[in-house]
Structure 1
């Protein structure tokens, strides 16, 4: 989540959910800081754990306010006005009091893009990892299937220094390797991911694709439950090919509460008939 604040009061304040998109390739994930509240308040700073240098297509944040909003368009416009240009709030809707952008998550979908051509396409330079070596996509797909299921992913997690201890047991729902011309797209969906887990899994698949390792190396590294075993055979994949595509929730959890204001998709600026006609008149006259 990006740096929006959660203000807590004696009675539950109105809560909203914001779908965001952003390019954090130049930032550190903490793009927006919330000013400190009065001493009797409490702020939960919401931050993204998406890796610096990567991208997010659709990420959800939640925030609460001390009073209800009957029109979300104004706050939508105001938030986007405060954010840096590389981050946008796509939509805002009222949320249930029990909704939490992180703990209510059902699954997440990540994509990793690899440009597999001899010469890098300059239009993909910032948005895909370049691998000039021809990759064996079939071997990569065979290896990716070993990730599917419930496993202990200790071998694929980098150490993170914070106060939150996460279970290494995660469920991968699917892991697909899709060829799109010179572009190779790795799509993984799971109920949760450890720090840098996706990039570490991609790193191992790249070695399989280069035919430096067999596809059955995956279950062996998983069984080792030791990050050092992965480090012996693969280096962490760079961040600029990584995209958080979506964070999924149960449909019931996303339903706005009764009497909630309409969802804001951003203000639309309509052009009047006169504005459409007047410029053409000027060009005709001159």
Structure 2
């Protein structure tokens, strides 16, 4: 098939590569270069980098306006494929490809429609994650579904790690759907059940509430790692929590109380402590959590979140 592909982050790259191996990609639409790192260096999106490597035409656009719509329409493609592009597809672009657009979404629809499905699912404590390929319609993530796939991820997997696994599985799922559309065997069915919604995460979503039970604290840590990042405050100073795991056998601590061991920094929750192994203090690089704790004054008297 002759396709137009729209996507931006690393999670969209496996699908682009898979489709490029079997179909004619007329153009790749992605977000413009963005400043990254401390030096704010303008950097092409992961999808743009992959498209350049594959020798594919690239359209960089912050939104799919009239000019971009005209450019894509002129390509006369059979199908549009979108994976986490970061912008809305509206009419008349929605109807420009002969078979419309399909969307790879990283949830088992109608669960977690919206911008941050994997993150919100982990924060909510969902035991099963998955991916869906559906027909794109004007309403948010509400189109008929061609295929879904549940994906097992480790109980300790962060959102970044889970998304990597889902991106790999989703690439094959999307390729199968495109092939079925090409040969006329594709069948999409309406979504069933009450939808839930996954709003975009903000920095505030990463704040760890140590008064909550360990399961809830760790679920939030998983859901906000690596972005926007888990964080707390110690002695009035912000501290990013980069690596952590439950410590069910650890000595009980009051919520937020810190205690260092030889291998980890334990922080009390509403139940059992969380073992933190890597942190990033304000204005410094990432470091071993125990080394950071040893450099503090106050030791066990300090309380996270206070």
TM-score normalised by structure 1 residue count? 0.24
